A and B are shown apart, each in its own frame.
Chain A
């Protein structure tokens, strides 16, 4: 028999998404949720501007052939930044492949963040440094890792919350179901942040679920679900913060669905015109999260034009620096393929490493010889 302190009603999200700023950037009151402090709002704005510039730069780099692929989070800045801003240093972030902006905002070196997408290695950073798990590609599989991480923290008596990011499509995967279930049974300090950006590549939400909202799914597990306007940075911050605090106090996991929109295609090689209309994209562009926050801060006299300009300049400088750094080729060592498979390299792998080295040496020699012969014939 299960007893839950939450009544079914309290597990369900409210009738409308939580907002603190309307589309024009006007503050609106919300039941039980406070507007974040001014410094927080300014920090959110700043990081969103920098984050967007990072994102557009990464998209450009892909078009220049410097990245293999870049799944953009453009349009989702409020979710990306506010979620990270609401975490404490000791908390863990479990991102997906689309959350490079969030990972950068958490403090990981952008070049390291782009290592995966450049194709240099499967992950470019030490997870323990900023407490960010590697960007996860198999959808929803990271939800279980977050639950395990959080559960271990509880067992060890650590004050730590794990925040896992997943998309609308990932909520269909079995692992999400298992993760919510385990997290609830264990009362693990996990926050599930579902960025509902409307599409799983080309599949719209209407084909993904028949639930009234993704936040409604929490009740099945005994996990409270909250629906929030994902383009309202203040609201996302407040909601995530509340969930983190609650989880840290031992109240268990939370499910948050943030409504937002994926302005770019799935990746640079996707053709979004095949499955959605220009009008739809335009309507969401009109609800731009960065603009909204800027309007609000401007209205309240917290952000002057000079500040905006200075921030733009800083963003440009960072983008230029990133371009510069990404123009340096990376040295790839084939021997790395064999170094990290086991804690200690096995004799078989050592043998294979030498086999490859010998093969490469022989090919190099053959090419040198061929070049020599070619030169002779040309004269």
Chain B
């Protein structure tokens, strides 16, 4: 894993960095620019984090600013709240998605509510980084997709990068945000590589069209983005023009970008790893149906995990949305038969 210094060079040289490297760079840059930024959590100091996201930071910025805490997630988030009340900007790490649950009360009862409770006098500019999602052959409790719990909690911002570039940009923005941000990192993409620019044009609450198309809109985020892009590419051979939207921001939701796309294509599918029942896709489907009803050719479909506890590594592949599953869903979107028997847009 590259160190911060090596990444600096890579960024400067316009070389590709991994998502992990991009996150590391973002933390480093934030720590450099703003003295009030702290980074803490379990194993993030000396070890540099179990995924090396915080590698080299403790050495570079000292153990007052980058440090290991005792093993208590509620303690990490609760003390972060107190620190933020006193003007600091904590960027804390929950080691894995499922291990964030002990902090759930602090997140929902205080982190999300303190600004509202005090009528805006107390703001909590805290970022909680959570590696989430599966696809790494992990044993139980290490592969959850918990985004729905956080997006459903008013007062939180929830963002998730699907690319290394966005990992850098979104994390910088999240740290600068005056609101508490749940920063969901798709751990299966930590090792994906891309050239990253340090310039952030896109606001934190906006979605991005990753691929333009005219027949159907695929709406996705985080770990499922790469798979969805693959499926879009494959659909070309079926003579379908597929548009892919990367939401980036799960809360708030970018209605404008999504509805503009679906009103053009008339068909929409949401793709995510999380279980379908009451999953994030349900909200997207409801919104798209409400706002684009008159433009729709077919119901809004969801390609998602089954309604089961996340499977063990040996069965994981059957659960995760795959390229084939996405293509099959596209087929179900009520295409009109043309004279040649091929299906075309209605």
Contact = CB atoms under 8 A, between A and B. Distances in A.
Interface of A: 121-123, 126-128, 133-134, 138, 141, 143-153, 155-156, 158, 162, 174-175, 177-179, 181-182, 185, 336, 339-344, 346-348
Interface stretch (B115-123, B215-223, B303-311): B115-123
B341 interface: no
B109 interface: yes
B74 A175 contact: yes
Given A138-B109, A182-B75, A342-B157, 8 more contacts: A127-B122, A148-B84, A149-B83, A149-B86, A155-B64, A156-B86, A182-B69, A185-B70
A217 to B, nearest CB: 16
26 contacts: A121-B117, A122-B113, A123-B119, A126-B121, A128-B122, A141-B110, A144-B81, A145-B85, A149-B83, A151-B82, A152-B87, A174-B74, A174-B102, A175-B78, A178-B74, A178-B75, A182-B79, A336-B119, A339-B120, A340-B118, A340-B119, A341-B154, A341-B155, A342-B179, A343-B179, A348-B253
Contacts of A339: 119-120
A145 B81 contact: yes
A156 B118 contact: no
Contact of A148 (B64, B72, B86, B154): B86
B83 A340 contact: no
Interface string B162-195: 0000000000000001110000000000000000
Nearest to A158: B86
Interface string B94-111: 000000001001100110
A122 B116 contact: yes
A340 B116 contact: yes
A174 B84 CA distance: 21
Contacts of B64: 155
A348 B252 contact: yes
Contacts of B110: 138, 141, 145
Contact of B78 (A144, A150, A155): A144
A122 B122 CA distance: 13
B209 interface: no
Given A141-B106, A182-B72, A151 B122 contact: no
B309 to A, nearest CB: 24
A343 B120 CA distance: 7
Contact of A144 (B82, B118, B121): B82
B102 to A, nearest CB: 7
A165 to B, nearest CB: 15
A121 B253 CA distance: 27
A174 B106 CA distance: 12
B86 A144 contact: no
Contacts of B155: 341-342
A152 B83 contact: yes
Given A175-B78, A182-B75, A342-B155, A153 B179 contact: no
B75 A141 contact: no
Interface string B46-84: 000000000000000000100001101011011111111
Contacts of B297: none
Contacts of B88: 152, 155-156
A115 to B, nearest CB: 10
B255 interface: yes
Given A127-B118, A141-B105, A144-B79, A149 B74 contact: no
B79 A147 contact: yes
B85 A127 contact: yes
B273 to A, nearest CB: 25
A14 B157 CA distance: 49
A373 B297 CA distance: 47
Contacts of A177: 72
A147 B78 contact: yes
Given A127-B121, A141-B110, A150 B82 contact: yes
Contacts of B106: 141, 144, 175
Contacts of B114: 134
Contacts of A175: 74-75, 78, 105-106
A133 B85 contact: yes
A123 B77 CA distance: 21
Contacts of A128: 121-122
A179 B72 CA distance: 9
B29 interface: no
Contacts of A153: 86
A336 B116 CA distance: 9
B8 interface: no
B205 interface: yes
Nearest to A128: B121
Contacts of A146: 82
A134 B120 CA distance: 13
B83 A123 contact: no
A374 B194 CA distance: 72
Contact of A182 (B70, B86, B123, B205): B70
A100 B84 CA distance: 24
Nearest to A144: B78
A302 to B, nearest CB: 39
Contacts of B102: 174
Contacts of A148: 78-86
4 tightest Cβ-Cβ pairs between the two chains A and B: A148-B82, A144-B78, A178-B75, A148-B79
B82 A145 contact: yes
A134 B115 contact: no
Interface in B120-150: 120-123
Contacts of A133: 85
Contact of A149 (B38, B82, B109): B82
B82 A152 contact: yes
A121 B78 CA distance: 23
A155 B67 CA distance: 12
B116 A152 contact: no
A179 B85 contact: no
A341 B79 contact: no
A116 to B, nearest CB: 9
B257 to A, nearest CB: 12
A179 B84 CA distance: 16
A134 to B, nearest CB: 6
A282 B121 CA distance: 44
Contact of B118 (A123, A141, A150, A174): A123
